[in-house]
Structure 1
């Protein structure tokens, strides 16, 4: 059977089906409330799906049965849900056994799941979890011939929802083949699947396999729509447009498209503005933001309100601006997750401008009835506790209370003045904590932009003391980004990150570096709108740090960050565990029943427990943490991670290229870094991988266990204890996988200035003679470098 470590790859699915789900019970502890919702969301003892499964026919969910693509081993329909919902999915597959046999297998799932072999239920997981993934051993009593497997999945959809399961066979794989219900109708889908998997990219030329099973097309639309669609049926190759950054190849069978997306990373390059004037840069950025949503046709933009704010600051008004404000009011009124972002923008807008009467009345009622903290009355799926959300809720409450001082806020049963004073106390706690320990979501190029927006509201709308303290923290944020900027791009280990990690010049916070230094690549973040009328003044003198060689290490939150930045390369990381002398940590109090649930320390502890933001330790289940980076240019970076999912199209947290399923041990020593991974038996993904985009280098050489890259005057070398095997998924010639559960890497950086030539550098690296003891989990090199993996038992990283 086709497999990845024994995982069944091919399924028919029906769903997912989403329905609203809110329980009457409330809880002042949001994590506990969501655990309760998960405990009741799945209906027990539901029967198996219908035996008559045909592609295109509707299931009991009222949705058609479809061929699941791409099949990686997981059935992964993860999705972000802004309000709590129930999600249901049905799946069907089959196993063809050469003889009667009992087969040990594992069901991996975050969801509630029931599994039937034929008409007999063989496994039931009654409650979904957020993390870590559940592992349940099952026995498959297979009969000779085809055996049907049916799966019913139920889950609570709230924020980033892990609608994932996979079935892994542990034995007899050579005697088992995969099969699908409705076999005849499934054949062309299987054939198209294989054909799409056989596509090869060489530069800007796509090479197609022979004998496509249906008409196939090439387009440049990321969603696979027919814009600029070209029929490539029967062709052996096609040349893509030189400027294209994504190529989409698809075939369609019975009105169902199977789509292969291929990113042309070599065509994705930093964008620069021609003007070097600071004023021109600001003007261009703000004009671009104001232009979004200014078209005659209304588009349901997520941050439509922010672009209204940009237009109004420029003295312009768009034809659909009131519609965007109204949509934001609806999102806030439904208390969608991240609605605090929209509320921050709304309150900022209302500080400077008057709304039309009907919108003003609706805004007042929406603001008064909002739930500003999880201890207030009501139930929803909002995240209150991350560093950016916490301050955002605090400052929104402060501004709302200040605007309506005599009005009653029913969810807290306080008047506006009382709401403002309670929020002021929380803001002061938040500011004091970050002043003392540094940012928890340190160097996060996405979330720090959100924190920037909240801090700017503190700067602009609070008393002088809090305003000045917030401004100093923004300065600190920008100084850290500047230190970690290499040739204009932010290259930084990060507490929370998304897929933009592979192209750092595309990260949201790049907007800030572009404002500080006009010669850096252009960035894009809607949060820059808050700077347009702010009294905060950017610290332009920090721009000098962007090109300055630096050797530094420092604490932020519970993390210890190291940075080695030279003229031709940069290496930076967060240590796991910490190796600094006399490490100090703040203590997590979220498991203490006597802790003050209103305190910022409790909320910070909540965040650590849920997101695992800054306590980096080996063996812990990870989230969005980015552990290390090496860079030879602003678009030429490399790093390793243990992916949280099996393919690059899943979109969960941790993802394929961002975060870690299981955290590694990491130690940096100058321009050398080591990392050890011990995945263990409680995570389904038995490989790590290296991001190494070959097309971005001037030269690439693989020599035994070493991989060498050169760009300009910079050199980088990667060594691995086990075979690094090229793998192509959404990215081509960018990935090397290392299969197994225990492996170690070394990254060594250097330059022509230090080593005269690439050959000298290669010889130096080989003389390091790295060695990894798989049983003792110890990594060493001839220069005295040593690293051990000691698994942490820190339970504060688990929900």
Structure 2
């Protein structure tokens, strides 16, 4: 048990068991449809789980799956997953609470799932329906008898897209009189000992240090892959190990019988940008296409999510592969099953069909797959596809347009329209989408992952629509690339983003780095399957934007409902999105997704639907976050720092918002020149009670901690960050990169500078001390010298409840 927050951290689990979940009921509102599926997914009259003596490691549970020791466990039992089609998820978990005396203990049950909690064979709490967000919190009383008390948890959930198979049990009192053990105690003890061993590993320079004698054989391996074929070097009995120079990832694991417990340690200091020396822009473009074409060419066929894209690259280069037909068949299966993101695959297929002839024996199956596809959520059928995000919406529209043009006289089963009619409807929606982005800017602004998808959709508009739409789409791609160029610092995209993933910790690894590398061959290398759409395209890359990458800039602008600020200097960069907006006379488009009379086919409704689900660009303090990245400070293309409120308790959890990306609860943020403040207030309805700072010490030339201040220097650039709470180092998957502030109310103040501006690092630090930031936690107000002031006023916006 975590004595600091009361979360139970030791469980045996059985599952997950996944099964297809189909309902004949349909709904033109996808959110409402998925809410309905969640309301019926859980069986509510199941008998009590098996007795504690039947819970044994390796033995089968009622799910027909073995009980296993759960490692790691931060306090959440987290089996988050991505499901391309709707499924039912079932999981069992068990733990034992040992009480010194008879006690009634107050506890919180946190869950996104339908759940039952059984204590000593009696049900003590349950939640009947899963939710997508926000997390459910339910108080419960645990009547503990003196000695061992077995707790069994039955979890059921709807798996659709990013699925939060998460629950946690938090004891709120009597922590000093309760210990946590496990069923099958004798067999479990070696696993508990191995857990303690793995969790106690430390990293000093390039040396892994072990806490004590291991309870079993210990092995070390390099690489990202963890599977049944994992074979490591036996390091049993060693107190430390010198790691291979330059290794990006190390895996330490122990074996108890046939079972492994595994800890992954990422060596961020060894992950550095890679450059392509001396190549011209045209040569880089060819090289990147050729690199993509090599993917999926192994002798034995291996299904790949974007296998069709790699086939397209090969065929465009005149280099067909031996397994290309199987990749095409796999793509057809994705489309036929209407997997989430199958619209991406369909866009590639339709592009492929414009440039190449399919094998003759595949034409009939291809035609049927396209005619039976569901091109919008208001069409007949049910599935788990996301239609409404900015990239998906345009992707569905252009796919419908191109499919209608391909089969003009055929009947499309789910709309009941002919191909001509399908294209007519689609062109109206495409024009509305273009109108909106031209007026307001991108909603998924600066997203180094999702904007690549939008690029693919826009390139299909450029290449396969009439001149008017083609020219408009081309101009929007120019705007996309210009914004990326503005936010490029020493070759990497450093930007606040409407939607982001964990790659934010190493900006040169983001997908859109491929576009920067195409524009500027001197930037760090990057590649993305989406640049395949640039092959044989009439769109011309705006190479002149390269000059913007190296210019010093101070600018601010609106995109969607957001207000972005940027201060880029030769030795540092600070950029953010304001929360709330502080620009003069801020204007917002209005969310109409809760208006029952709204036209659900309209672009305004779709955009509102997206804001309600993803919370893309309306940034206000205190609302539930998703994938928004609020601010960045950078001293180099791989040396960045920022803060966030994690959506989960540990790295590698896999949900959105995650540990290093997005925010569970949105902060107040205000940038003023080269200074920035952020205030967090985490209400009692969120289980993560800390915020944290990403500060990769090894990436800096020098760093120093002095009380509430942390300083970093890289080259001639300086960074300082102050926190109202003591910043406590924490080591998870990353070592020497994280500082936590353990408080539900805290504030940060960041200041950047350079040798040119301040003379020396010591003079910069002295100037920072003179700024004297102060946080009034009662008033939720942050102040500093130079007239800096920021207040946290919790928003009443509730549009992000799903």
TM beyond 0.5: yes
Contact 2:92 2:155 in 1 (8 A): yes
Q: TM-score, normalised by structure 2?
A: 0.99
Distance apart, 1:228 and its partner CA: 6.2
* Distance in 2 (alpha carbons) for counterparts of 1:433 and 1:723: 45
Distance apart, 1:277 and its partner CA: 0.6
* Distance in 2 (alpha carbons) for counterparts of 1:469 and 1:781: 45
Select the residue among 688, 706, 710 that pairs with 1:707. 710
* Distance in 2 (alpha carbons) for counterparts of 1:113 and 1:420: 46
1:154 aligns with 2:159: no
Distance apart, 1:48 and its partner CA: 2.4
Distance apart, 1:87 and its partner CA: 0.1
**Is the partner of 1:797 in helix, strand or coil?**
coil
Report the equivalent of 2:125: 123
Report the equivalent of 1:340: 343
Deviations along 1:404-446, one digit per CA (max 9) or x if unpaired, are: 0000001000000000010000000000000000000000000
**Is the partner of 2:18 in helix, strand or coil?**
strand
Distance apart, 1:238 and its partner CA: 1.4
Report the equivalent of 2:654: 651
Deviations along 1:697-755, one digit per CA (max 9) or x if unpaired, are: 00000011000000000000010000100000000100001111000000000000000
RMSD (Å) for aligned C-alpha atoms: 0.8
Distance apart, 1:4 and its partner CA: 4.5
Q: TM-score, normalised by structure 1?
A: 0.99
Report the equivalent of 1:530: 533
Report the equivalent of 2:225: 223
Contact 2:250 2:266 in 1 (8 A): yes
For structure 2, which runs of at least 5 residues remain unmatched after alignment? Answer: none
**Is the partner of 1:127 in helix, strand or coil?**
coil
* Distance in 1 (alpha carbons) for counterparts of 2:147 and 2:743: 32
Rate the CA distance shift 1:228–1:176 in 2: closer, same or farther, 3 A.
closer
Distance apart, 1:118 and its partner CA: 0.7
* Distance in 1 (alpha carbons) for counterparts of 2:273 and 2:149: 53
Distance apart, 1:45 and its partner CA: 2.3
Deviations along 1:46-91, one digit per CA (max 9) or x if unpaired, are: 1222111000000010100000110100000000000000000001
Contact 1:48 1:152 in 2 (8 A): no
* Distance in 1 (alpha carbons) for counterparts of 2:64 and 2:231: 34
* Distance in 2 (alpha carbons) for counterparts of 1:111 and 1:87: 9
1:687 aligns with 2:690: yes
Report the equivalent of 1:246: 249
For structure 1, which runs of at least 5 residues remain unmatched after alignment? Answer: none
* Distance in 2 (alpha carbons) for counterparts of 1:629 and 1:439: 20
Report the equivalent of 1:641: 644
Deviations along 1:76-116, one digit per CA (max 9) or x if unpaired, are: 00000000000000010011111111111100000000001
Superposed counterparts of 1:21-420, under 5 Å: 21-51=21-51, 52-225=54-227, 229-420=232-423
* Distance in 2 (alpha carbons) for counterparts of 1:650 and 1:98: 34
Report the equivalent of 1:486: 489
The count of residues paired between Structure 1 and Structure 2 equals 799
Contact 2:9 2:73 in 1 (8 A): yes
Distance apart, 1:386 and its partner CA: 0.3
Distance apart, 1:227 and its partner CA: 5.6
Deviations along 1:430-488, one digit per CA (max 9) or x if unpaired, are: 00000000000000000000000000000000000000000000000000000000000
**Is the partner of 2:799 in helix, strand or coil?**
helix
Report the equivalent of 2:479: 476
Deviations along 1:573-593, one digit per CA (max 9) or x if unpaired, are: 000000100000000010011
**Is the partner of 1:276 in helix, strand or coil?**
coil
Contact 1:642 1:688 in 2 (8 A): yes
Distance apart, 1:494 and its partner CA: 0.2
When structure 1 is superposed on structure 2, of 221-230 and 484-493 the one drifting more is: 221-230
Contact 2:223 2:248 in 1 (8 A): no
1:423 aligns with 2:426: yes
Select the residue among 771, 789, 792 that pairs with 1:789. 792
Report the equivalent of 2:596: 593
Distance apart, 1:144 and its partner CA: 1.2
Report the equivalent of 1:618: 621
**Is the partner of 1:548 in helix, strand or coil?**
coil
* Distance in 1 (alpha carbons) for counterparts of 2:73 and 2:355: 52
Report the equivalent of 1:6: 6
Contact 2:49 2:121 in 1 (8 A): no
Contact 2:720 2:752 in 1 (8 A): yes
* Distance in 2 (alpha carbons) for counterparts of 1:712 and 1:48: 63
**Is the partner of 1:795 in helix, strand or coil?**
coil
When structure 1 is superposed on structure 2, of 202-211 and 340-349 the one drifting more is: 202-211
When structure 1 is superposed on structure 2, of 204-213 and 433-442 the one drifting more is: 204-213
Deviations along 1:649-671, one digit per CA (max 9) or x if unpaired, are: 21000000000000000000010
* Distance in 2 (alpha carbons) for counterparts of 1:227 and 1:96: 36
Select the residue among 568, 571, 574 that pairs with 2:574. 571
Contact 2:2 2:75 in 1 (8 A): no
Deviations along 1:641-693, one digit per CA (max 9) or x if unpaired, are: 00001110210000000000000000000100000000010000000000000
* Distance in 1 (alpha carbons) for counterparts of 2:261 and 2:3: 20
**Is the partner of 2:299 in helix, strand or coil?**
coil
Deviations along 1:2-23, one digit per CA (max 9) or x if unpaired, are: 4450000000000011000011
